[in-house]
Structures are given as C-alpha cells and as structure tokens.
Amino acid sequence: MRLENTGIEDSIVDVKPLDHLMAKHAFIRGGQWDYERVTYDYKIGSKEKNITYYIRILGYAVEGDVDRGNAVIKLSTPLLGKHYYPHGVEYGEQENFPENLVERATNLVSKVKEEIEIYKK
C-alpha cells in the first residue's frame, strides 16, 4: 500500500544525514549492496499469527555513489507492507491494513519528514 501525500516523496537529501535521521527513527537501511538505491524499513509487530508489517521508504541516487557515502538521494512514496511467513512481503493495494496501523505508519513517516526538512537540498 502506498502512503500517499506524506510530503516525503521527492525529497532530496545527502545519504549520510539521511542514514543518521532514519536510524534515529528506527528505520533500518537494507544491507543489500547497491550503488544507486537505498531502502529503509521499519518493522511493526502484529498479534496476528505469522504476520509482521513493514514501512518501507525507498530512494535512489540522483548523484554520487551510495556505497562511497557521497550520494544525494531522492526519496519515493513510502510503502506499507504485510509480511506473510514464509512467503515474503506484499505491498499490494488488495492487502487489508487495519486503519490504526495505517494511521501509525503515516505518523511515523511524518516525524521523519519533519527532520528531513532540515537536510533537504
């Protein structure tokens, strides 16, 4: 599910301060090796059996290199996903997300967006 109109989409930020502020808000940068993209995930536990939710914020380098730490990142629309063990995460619009979860996810992204404003290019 896309979390539309959060204000974070299309923000442009240097990767080092972005890594710092995302970690501050418990978003973990994916360990995949990539020169051009970053992925930050926030894990939300669930009382449902074998279900975990994730907020994912994606970005790609508009200049520089992520691996070297000199990239300038443009962020995309955040996603809310549902992980089905052992199959993986689904982000589809057909997924059913509790309203309070969507609200919580939107609030978390809003807090990140407020701090990104300080570092935006």
What pTM did the predictor assign?
A: 0.88
d(CA 28, CA 78): 14
Residue 38: count of CB within 10 angstroms of its CB:
21
Kindly list the structural domains of the chain, giving each domain's residue range(s) and its CATH number in brackets, ordered by start: 11-117 (3.30.310.100)
d(CA 18, CA 39): 11
Q: DSSP letter at 27? A: P
The helix/strand/coil state of 61 is strand
d(CA 25, CA 42): 9
Per-residue pLDDT in tens (0 to 9) along the chain, 121 residues: 999 999 999 999 999 999 999 999 999 998 776 789 999 999 998 887 778 899 999 999 999 999 899 999 999 999 999 876 666 666 666 778 889 999 999 999 999 999 999 988 7
What is the reported pLDDT for 82?
87
What is the reported pLDDT for 33?
64
